[in-house]
Amino acid sequence: MSKGLSSLEQQVQKVFKHTRASSYGTRAKYKGNVMRAAKWISQEFKLQSLKNLQDKHVAAYAKHLQAYDFKPKTIKDNLSAIRYMHDNAPQTKYKISDNKTLQQEYKFTIPKVQTIKGDRGWTNEEFSRMQEVTREVGSQAAKDYHDVSVMARTMGMRVAEAALGGRFQAEEALRCGIYHIGKEAKNGRERDVKLSPEGRQVLESRVASTPRGGKLFVRTNEKSHHAIDRIEQFNQNHREKVETLSGRLQRTWTDRHQEKAYTNNLTLHGLRYNYIQDRVKQEIDKGFTREQAAQIVTKEVGHNRADVIYIYLGGKM
């Protein structure tokens, strides 16, 4: 164990040493936040066992951050990091509540921040153009990007969720029509996703070329985060070729505080925006209200709060 660290900090280190949920970058960011929280909580409450971490400890830390004028987004990021760590820790006794419950029970308020920073979705023309680019380039990198983008657009998967899936998951999905997203899910929140017809074609191709026990998009001896970086880099290298004027206008938004306009870049995550927008519209077309539709879709895409879905709507609907 590391010298100078409290028992609680050492246990947090152990959790991050063994978990593989989420990307390398996300884990590194979360670890820094949680280590600072663990140090403060161990000093303030003399807490020695991670399994005894409770809402009162987390709420007190949030109030501590507020007292030192940390921004609302920073506080929320810290609370998300603590929940991530707690979800991946073994034998915990208590559940850590969501932000709304913590604020109600422990009488504090985290001010709302402007989280809807415009639409990040692609136009259909831009997506079609990028598919043409992948066929023209014809490399393995292009093929990997093509398949991941299809899973993002038609199944709402994050880049890591698609890129780090294994052959066993693919075979199960082809048998039952449901793709199980495991530990590669953000914050370790496993979920099931309905296999799209386009996703089925991707998985059939990938299973045929992936050895048993292998991952669909991670090459031999390649680190998982390198595979993700490689796929995202293809997008960065080619997105200017496919952007349209209507797409740029769709992704332009104004910061009401700075009175300044910004345009969101084309990213793979933007295809998840498209999927969620489509799913919300489908539920609204069935007769559900916008709020009811958001509540339905939020569980499908790996979130706990319906208000997160409004970010993906980008001011639409």
- Flag whether 111 is in a domain: no
What is the mean pLDDT of the segment spanning 291-309? 90
Range of the domain at 73: 7-105
Q: Are residues 234 and 156 in the same domain?
A: yes
Q: Are residues 199 and 302 in the same domain?
A: no
What's the pLDDT tens digit per position in 44-61? 999 999 999 999 999 999
Final residue belonging to a domain, choices 53, 76, 105 = 105
Please give the structure tokens belonging to residue 54.
């409770």
What's the pLDDT tens digit per position in 225-266? 889 999 999 999 999 999 999 999 999 998 877 778 999 999
What's the pLDDT tens digit per position in 92-146? 999 999 999 999 999 999 987 656 789 999 999 999 999 999 999 999 999 999 9
The pLDDT mean for the chain works out to 93
- Flag whether 17 is in a domain: yes
Distances in Å between the Cα of 105 and the Cα atoms of 60, 69, 99, 101 are: 12, 21, 10, 6
CB 293 within 8 A of CB 150: no
Confidence (pLDDT) at 1: 45
Residue listed under structure tokens 């293809």 = 234
Query: In sequence order, what are the residues at sequence separation of 6 or more whose Cβ sits closer than 8 angstroms to the Cβ of residue 268?
Result: 148, 149, 152, 159, 231, 232, 235
- Flag whether 76 is in a domain: yes
DSSP 207-220: HHHS-TT-BSSPPT
- Tell whether the model's pLDDT for residue 150 goes beyond 50: yes
* Sign of CA pseudo-dihedral 298, 303, 304, 306: negative
Q: Are residues 210 and 299 in the same domain?
A: no
* Sign of CA pseudo-dihedral 11, 17, 19, 23: positive
Task: Report the C-alpha gap between 306 and 74 in whole angstroms.
Answer: 21
Q: Are residues 185 and 218 in the same domain?
A: yes
- Flag whether 116 is in a domain: no
Final residue belonging to a domain, choices 214, 241, 268 = 241
Question: Distance between alpha carbon 184 and the CA centroid of its chain, in Å?
Answer: 10
Please give the structure tokens belonging to residue 59.
């709420």
Q: Are residues 251 and 218 in the same domain?
A: no
- Flag whether 198 is in a domain: yes
Q: Are residues 93 and 25 in the same domain?
A: yes
Q: Are residues 226 and 260 in the same domain?
A: no
- Flag whether 273 is in a domain: yes
- Flag whether 114 is in a domain: no
Q: Total structural domains in the chain?
A: 3
- Flag whether 1 is in a domain: no
- Tell whether the model's pLDDT for residue 151 goes beyond 80: yes
